[in-house]
Amino acid sequence: MTILVIGATGTIGSAICDSLESEHDVIRVARTSGDIRVDIESPESIRDMYEEAGSFDAVASAAGNAAFNPLDELSEDDFGLSIQSKLMGQVNLVRYGLPYLDNPRQGSFTLVSGILSQHPMPGSAAISMVNAGIEGFIRAAALDTPDGVRVNAVSPPWVSETLEEMGEDPSDGVPAAVVAKAYADSITGSASGEVLDPRDYA
């Protein structure tokens, strides 16, 4: 399969590429490097990316920013960025990507939400909002896609590599390679409209 990995240079995106590239044709997409560049905040940039990629079989997204700040410090811009990037950026990956699927019957889109959707922490109001929004979107979008195209989300818990960078105990998280297993299952399995929890793949 030809698989577009969006956010391919990040911790999770790199692990997705590593896990898929032995068996599939992986196209690495990121904001400032990679085989193709995209700014998912821009619908036009997404359309350009798909034009450049041509046809493909699956999109795996580990992209999107959202603002972490206490509720009384979250600004209009914080909410706006979170919506435009992680929420609508990923929604638009599905909306604009559907016509480019090479073989819809095995086609899929896998977006990223995150554990804060269901298990928030102080400061996560905007992130929890957009993560939950992604989960609501994929559940419904999966009912509307043509020809059996599947749409899922992976909801990563804290990632070991990220915890390590933060000086925290990596064993409190799940390695990025395990998160990548959830993406691989979404791409090669039969799930649709589901939120996949990487902890089920440990």
Binding-site ranges for a second copy (CB under 8 A): 43, 70-72, 74, 76, 79, 83, 87-88, 91, 94-95, 98, 116-118, 120-137, 139-141, 143-146, 193
Min separation Cβ 43 and a second copy, Å: 7
Nearest to 157 by CA among 140, 170, 142: 170
Query: What tokens were used for 4?
Result: 């577009």
Nearest to 82 by CA among 123, 118, 47: 123
Min separation Cβ 126 and a second copy, Å: 8
Min separation Cβ 92 and a second copy, Å: 9
Query: What tokens were used for 165?
Result: 């960078």
Residue 139 vs 199, nearer CB to a second copy: 139
Residue 91 vs 177, nearer CB to a second copy: 91
Residue 54 vs 136, nearer CB to a second copy: 136
Min separation Cβ 23 and a second copy, Å: 30
Query: Which alpha helices (DSSP H) does the chain contain, by range?
Result: 11-20, 43-53, 76-82, 88-97, 125-141, 160-165, 176-188
Residue 19 vs 84, nearer CB to a second copy: 84
Transcribe 134-166 into DSSP letters: HHHHHHHHTTT-GGG-EEEEE----BHHHHHHT
